[in-house]
C-alpha cells in the first residue's frame, strides 16, 4: 500500500513532519515511536486518510477513544459498524439491537474482558475499561487495517500483551503508535521512529536498542 510520497504533514505554515514517504505491505505490523509531540498522531491521521482514499476498510482506536459517555459499552461497540447500515437500521440498533448484532458485539467485548460491563454506561467505567471499549469497537468494525493511537496505554502490562495478540490475530495489517517500547518490540514487524520532524529510523524491530532510546533523548 503506497500511502505517502514525500508528504509534508502538519497543521499550519510549518509542517510537523517533512518529506514523509511511506509504503506499508499487507501483513506488516508497524509501530510508530517517538517523544510526545514528535508527530505520531499527525502521521497516523495522514495514514488513515490515505487508506480511506484508497478504499480500504480502516478500524480506528483514536487517542481520546471518541466514545459516547452516556451510552453503554455494548452500544458504543455497535457504533463500530454504523456506516455499514442506513439511518433506520442504526436507530433500531440504538433502541434495541438485533440478536445477531448483540451477539457479535458481546463476542468482541469478551475478547477484551468486558462482558460484565456490557450494559454499563461508558462514563462509569475506568480509564482502562474505556480504552478496551474503544478497542472492542474497532474489533467489531474489523477491516483491512487497524490504525491505533496509543490503543493500549491505559491497560496493565499483562493485559496489554494479551490484547496486542488479539489485535495481531484480528487484523491483517496494523499501524499503531505505542509509547511502551517493550510492548512495541513484541508486537511490531517494523518500527518507525520520529524525531525532529523526520522519520529517523525505519526498520525491523531488531534495531539496536540504543538507537531506539535515542529517539527519546533531547
Query: Which parts of this chain interact with ligand ATP (CB under 6 A)?
Result: 11, 16, 34, 36-42, 63
| Kind plus residue range of the DSSP H or E element containing 105 | helix 99-111
Q: Shortest gap between Cβ of 194 and ligand ATP (angstroms)?
A: 7
Q: How far apart are CA 82 and CA 91, in angstroms?
A: 10
Comparing CB distances to ligand ATP, the nearer of 11 and 169 is 11
Comparing CB distances to ligand ATP, the nearer of 138 and 194 is 194
Q: Shortest gap between Cβ of 12 and ligand ATP (angstroms)?
A: 6
Q: How far apart are CA 178 and CA 161, in angstroms?
A: 12
Q: Shortest gap between Cβ of 149 and ligand ATP (angstroms)?
A: 7
Which candidate, 144, 147, 166, 146, places its Cα nearest to that of 155?
166
Question: Judging by DSSP bridges, how do beta strands 190-195 and 198-203 pair with one another?
Answer: antiparallel
- Phi (first) and psi of residue 76, to 5 degrees: -65, -40
Q: How far apart are CA 205 and CA 164, in angstroms?
A: 16
Comparing CB distances to ligand ATP, the nearer of 36 and 70 is 36
For 34, 51, 72, 148, the CA distances from 137, given in Å and listed in that order, are 26, 19, 12, 12
Comparing CB distances to ligand ATP, the nearer of 42 and 76 is 42
Q: Shortest gap between Cβ of 199 and ligand ATP (angstroms)?
A: 13
Residue 60: CB atoms within 10 Å: 22
Comparing CB distances to ligand ATP, the nearer of 38 and 60 is 38
Q: Shortest gap between Cβ of 200 and ligand ATP (angstroms)?
A: 13
Amino acid at each position: 500500500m503506497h500511502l505517502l510520497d514525500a508528504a509534508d504533514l502538519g497543521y499550519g505554515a510549518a509542517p510537523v513532519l517533512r518529506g514523509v514517504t511511506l509504503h506499508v505491505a499487507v501483513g506488516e505490523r508497524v509501530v510508530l515511536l517517538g517523544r510526545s509531540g514528535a508527530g505520531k498522531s499527525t502521521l497516523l491521521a495522514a495514514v488513515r486518510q490515505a487508506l480511506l482514499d484508497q478504499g480500504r476498510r480502516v478500524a480506528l482506536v483514536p487517542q481520546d477513544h471518541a466514545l459516547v459517555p452516556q451510552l453503554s459499552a455494548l452500544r458504543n461497540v455497535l457504533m463500530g459498524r454504523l456506516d455499514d447500515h442506513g439511518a433506520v437500521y442504526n436507530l433500531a440498533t440504538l433502541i434495541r439491537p438485533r440478536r445477531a448484532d448483540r451477539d457479535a458485539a458481546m463476542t468482541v467485548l469478551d475478547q477484551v474482558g468486558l462482558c460484565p460491563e456490557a450494559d454499563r454506561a461508558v462514563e462509569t467505567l475506568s480509564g482502562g475499561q474505556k480504552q478496551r471499549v474503544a478497542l472492542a469497537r474497532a474489533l467489531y468494525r474489523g477491516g483491512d487495517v487497524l490504525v491505533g493511537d496509543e490503543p493500549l496505554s491505559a491497560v496493565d502490562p499483562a493485559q496489554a500483551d494479551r490484547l496486542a495478540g488479539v489485535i495481531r490475530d484480528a487484523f491483517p495489517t496494523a499501524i499503531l503508535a505505542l509509547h511502551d517500547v517493550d510492548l512495541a518490540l513484541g508486537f511490531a514487524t517494523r518500527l518507525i521512529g520520529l524525531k525532529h520532524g523526520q522519520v529517523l529510523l525505519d526498520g525491523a524491530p531488531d534495531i539496536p536498542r540504543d538507537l531506539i532510546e535515542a529517539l527519546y533523548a533531547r
